[in-house]
């Protein structure tokens, strides 16, 4: 762990302890539990995001992803332990979470069509800008 990481940890702990007094506690209703926890996975990620939100601009990108994803009740199962939201769980808990269901794979055919249509509009706009 680098010196910067230790400094960030100290800042995070100090500011998070101040923020804890003002943060609301969320209770998610996802019904997904892991061994050793009385809270659901959704509740864990939401409350971590709520606690870190007041100091978002001081966080590194891994910690910021916890805030962005957690506030939107999203868990990123593509993350590898110990990065991003995986840091909220033990390695065994993360493996259990990751194995709970099949991973959703994005069918990007729809997005290709949207991308082509958007590019047509942008190209038309750009050609009009250059002729004026």
Could you report the per-residue pLDDT of 14-39, keeping only the tens digit for each? 555 554 555 578 999 999 999 999 99
What DSSP designation does 103 have? Answer: P
Per-residue b/e over 72-91, b at no fewer than 16 CB within 10 Å?
eeebeeebeeeebbbebbee
For tokens 């332990």, what's the residue?
A: 81
92-132 pLDDT, tens digit per residue, is 999 999 888 666 666 667 777 777 888 888 888 888 877 66
Cα-to-chain-centroid distance, residue 34: 19
Give the confidence band of 4 by pLDDT, cuts at 50, 70, 90.
Answer: very low
Alpha-helix runs per DSSP H in 21-108: 41-52, 61-71, 91-98
């Amino acid at each position: 762990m680098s010196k910067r990481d230790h400094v960030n940890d100290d800042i995070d702990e100090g500011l998070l302890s101040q923020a804890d007094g003002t943060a609301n506690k969320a209770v998610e209703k996802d019904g997904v539990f892991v061994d050793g926890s009385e809270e659901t996975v959704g509740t864990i990620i939401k409350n971590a995001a709520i606690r870190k939100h007041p100091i978002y601009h001081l966080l590194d990108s891994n910690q910021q992803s916890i805030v962005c994803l957690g506030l939107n009740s999203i868990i990123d199962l593509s993350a590898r332990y110990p990065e991003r939201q995986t840091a909220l769980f033990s390695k065994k808990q993360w493996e259990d979470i990751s194995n709970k269901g099949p991973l959703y794979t994005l069918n990007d055919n729809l997005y290709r069509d949207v991308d082509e249509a958007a590019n047509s509009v942008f190209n038309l706009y750009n050609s009009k800008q250059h002729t004026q």
